[in-house]
Structure 1
Amino acid sequence: MRRAITALTMGPARQALVIEAAASLLAARLRLRLRSFGRITAELGRFVPPAPAPAPVGAPVPVDPVRRRRISQIRWAIAVAAPLMPFRAVCLQRSLAGRAMLARRGIDAILHFGGTVRAGAPDSEHAWLTADGIGVAGYPIDPAMVEIGRIVPRG
């Protein structure tokens, strides 16, 4: 009941964003069920090795405030919609949904893939999404997570 009241009082713009996030999560789930992972990654961009850790140099790169707000709104909408889905929306589905929502707004994103190794064996896999250095989906990330690759936009 509390969720229903919250949904009714969040305003039409936020309601529309949550509905878009829910539809994007469903589309991501179906896409992962109906297509091979290799085909999906090929459609999304180029798979490249992880970037080396950047050296710390002064202030972060400035991001347009309107663009930053759009990225944050999409991050929020996915976080709100994911627990409401009739399936468990996992990190890859959330990241694909976020990427699709950002792409509709002309914002490029990077889809990261990683894993952890414990006791000498692979322990877990994870996907997360960033746009302009802002975490969109798949956060927080386990500190033991090691990035093994990323999908970057073609260009």
Structure 2
Amino acid sequence: MKIISFIIPSFNSERFLDKCLNSFISSEALDKLDIIIVNDGSTDNTPSIADKYASAYSGSIRVIHQENRGHGGAINAGCDAAVGKYLKVIDADDSVVTDNISFFVEKLESIDSDIVLTHYYTTDVTTGVIKKWMCYPETFDREYTLSEMMSRWDDFSRC
């Protein structure tokens, strides 16, 4: 069973797509990932890059080719095709921390949450400075009810 579907909406993303997909493929949990690249009418090499990865990793990476329907249309197409228990949208110019994927998948397999929040990193493209954004102050294992999350909206709204 695929535990999580990653939807990657991609429009003219040839500069970024290799880095994005490479951040997934060295993960020990790749067989539990459903990675869906939605080529949203790209006119560059995005379609051929996506096809190359889908061919090489056919058990985990798929491609949907469609005429341009915009970012939301690409996400919707990915949602329709997703088979994972959980769903995450990641843009083609993003990447995942490969070392964390196996831990993350293991955690997802052991819980039955409706929403899962994680910290994330940003990189300033001008300076190269990497900043960690904390979605919440407590440990990864803490579970919250919806009313707890809503009462602490300022702590969770960055996620």
Which category describes the TM-score, using the shorter chain as reference length? under 0.3
Task: Give the TM-score of the pair, scaled to structure 2.
Answer: 0.26
